[in-house]
Chains A and B, each alone.
Chain A
């Protein structure tokens, strides 16, 4: 069974204080690892897909990296508007999974001005 564990559960940063969020996963055949951002009362917003170990993707102040066991979401010089819940999900490569995502519990990020 696919498993995704995110840490920390909550992270409080000062504006400009860089940090990283962790996503550890167990999956028998990874097709892709996805990062989403979710604001209160809204649906998850797609950020990145990573497909293979060593891959990196960047968007503004965010950079996602992938190894064979975990992914990191690095936040450089965060701003208050980066405050949100960040969700990690894995997609199984197996033929019967049909692309469904298995999500972690999320990391609640709060950035104080």
Chain B
């Protein structure tokens, strides 16, 4: 079956602009996670969705970051007023509740 998909695959933006990153999870997966992977930091948790609710937002680095999920499916991660330190690969994963997570290919964000 289809895996997790993310778009765009690459995004180059100017400092101060807003960006939206999209994740389409595996059909039927109720849990959705966003992670960030940057050099020297490894993979860091950002936010977790169960259905359309986000009970754990503890990893969001600042109030410039927000995310939503609609219809228990697609999720969008929004970064406002991007900064150079936001440059990273943003990964989305989905799972059946707390079982193994399946990752998408990621969106590489470069802030110039």
Given A87-B43, A99-B95, A102-B45, CB of A43 within 8 Å of CB of B56: no
**B45 near A96 (CB under 8 angstroms)?**
no
**B45 near A49 (CB under 8 angstroms)?**
no
**A43 near B103 (CB under 8 angstroms)?**
yes
Sample of 12 A–B contacts (CB below 8 Å) = A42-B106, A43-B4, A43-B106, A46-B103, A89-B43, A99-B97, A101-B33, A101-B45, A103-B43, A103-B44, A104-B42, A105-B42
Is the C-beta of B104 less than 8 angstroms from some C-beta in chain A?
Answer: yes
At the interface, is chain B mostly helix, strand, loop or mixed?
strand
Residues of A within 8 A of B (CB): 31-32, 34, 36, 41-46, 49, 87, 89, 91, 96-106
A31 and B99 CA atoms in complex are apart in Å by 10
**A46 near B100 (CB under 8 angstroms)?**
yes
Closest chain-A Cβ to B103's Cβ sits at a distance in Å of 4
Closest chain-A Cβ to B91's Cβ sits at a distance in Å of 5
Is the C-beta of B102 less than 8 angstroms from some C-beta in chain A?
Answer: yes
Interface size class of B (residues with CB under 8 A): 20 to 34
A97 and B100 CA atoms in complex are apart in Å by 15
Most-contacted residue by chain A among B31, B33, B59, B100 (CB, 10 A) = B100
A44: nearest residue on chain B (CB-CB)?
B103
Chain B residues near A44 (CB-CB < 8 A): 43, 91, 103
**A99 near B106 (CB under 8 angstroms)?**
no
Please name 18 further chain A to chain B contacts, defined as beta carbons within 8 Å, in addition to the given A41-B105, A46-B101, A100-B45, sorted by A numbering: A32-B98, A42-B106, A43-B91, A43-B104, A45-B103, A46-B100, A46-B103, A98-B50, A98-B56, A99-B31, A99-B101, A100-B56, A100-B59, A101-B35, A101-B43, A101-B45, A104-B42, A106-B42
